[in-house]
Copies of this chain bind each other. A is one copy, B any other.
Amino acid sequence: MTQTVAKITTPAQVEEFLAQYDDFLFDCDGVLWSGNHLLPSVVETLEFLRSRGKRLIFVTNNSTKSRKAYTSKFAKFGITVSKDEIFGSAYSSAIYLSQVLKFPKDKKVLIVGEAGMEEELAEVGIQTVGGTDPSLRKVEASDEDLANLAYDPTIGAVLCGLDFHITYLKMANALVQIQNPSTLFLATNIDSTFPTHGKLLPGAGTIVGTLVTSSGRTPVSLGKPSGAMMDSIKAKFKFDAERACMVGDRLNTDIAFGRAGGLGTLLVLTGVTKESELEGEPPVVPAYVIDKLGSLYEYLH
């Protein structure tokens, strides 16, 4: 390990850390909460940061919820946020399709994923198919269903994210579209797992992986640690990267994302990455590490 990691364990270290940054970008799952369980002292820490004049931006690879739906999740935990403080991978995908790709209005995006993706794409005026369509959510696909699958030239892109309702029919339909090289292939994010209920369950990368394996193609990923997502965030929030800190629980997405964007980084140990992984030679290291986000508040109070 060629870079040193500063572990925050005292009030003085918290103050020194806070003095360096004006903007805090937070990963959510594994940092603020784990599944449906709020992590300790998170509400107090966020209120404390706001009271110190810090700006909060919640960056999440969760593609299953739109930003609007995601505010309800915060509210359920007693955290008040506005839709505009949230930057999710479904929104990032919508921005990329509409602003970067100038996706044509007469074409459709086939969604493999949940309602959040449909909602964010609809908000920027992009037509979608698939997604929550019940006709693809059946576990018993008939031989006729499979025989009838065909390339649809009105589908300009396949966007794949985490899909709790994945079926063979969905995989097969999406595969048939991306077997045509002119169909764009995008992923909201490629996290292989996500932390929930104290477990690591299959993440978007596992669903996306079914299309990668079967097609041999690699998608453009619009979630952390993709530079495309960082560029969109910077364009929207216009912060000074050196005065901003990415807070996350995962080395290969959150911390890599912050480092690549030139931001400070804080690893919390309440999610995927364990402290032992910092020993040896991890591919990327955070500038700071702390046992949990809430300790920023607890050490000072």
A residues touching B (Cβ–Cβ < 8 Å)?
35-36, 137-141, 143, 146-147, 149, 163-168, 171-172, 175-176, 179, 192-193, 196-197, 199-203, 205-207, 209-210, 212-214, 216
B200 A205 Cβ-Cβ under 8 A: no
Question: Assuming A36-B143, A146-B197, A166-B166, is B214 touching A202 (CB within 8 A)?
Answer: yes
Cβ-neighbour of A164 out of B141, B199, B201 (below 8 A): B141
Work out how many copies of this chain go into the complex. 2
Residues of B within 8 A of A149 (CB): 197, 199, 201
A36 and B147 CA atoms in complex are apart in Å by: 10
Residue among A197, A200, A206 having the largest count of chain B Cβ atoms under 10 Å: A206
Of B137, B176, B196, B210, which is within 8 A of A139 by CB?
A: B137
> Which residue of chain B is the closest to A163 with respect to CB atoms?
B168
Minimum CB–CB distance for A131 against chain B, Å = 14
Q: Is the CB of B168 within 8 A of A139?
A: no
> Contact at A206–B197, with CB atoms within 8 Å?
no
11 contacts between A and B (CB under 8 A): A139-B167, A146-B201, A149-B199, A172-B201, A175-B202, A176-B199, A176-B201, A193-B214, A202-B214, A203-B214, A206-B210
Report A91 CB to chain B, min CB distance, Å: 23
Q: Find out whether the CB atom of A197 lies under 8 angstroms from the CB atom of B164.
A: no
With a cutoff of 8 Å between Cβ atoms, the chain B residues found around residue A196 in the complex are 146
Q: How far is the CB of A47 from chain B (nearest CB, A)?
A: 28
Which of B137, B164, B171, B201 interacts with A175 by CB under 8 Å? Answer: B201
Residues of B within 8 A of A36 (CB): 143
Q: Is the CB of A202 within 8 A of B168?
A: yes
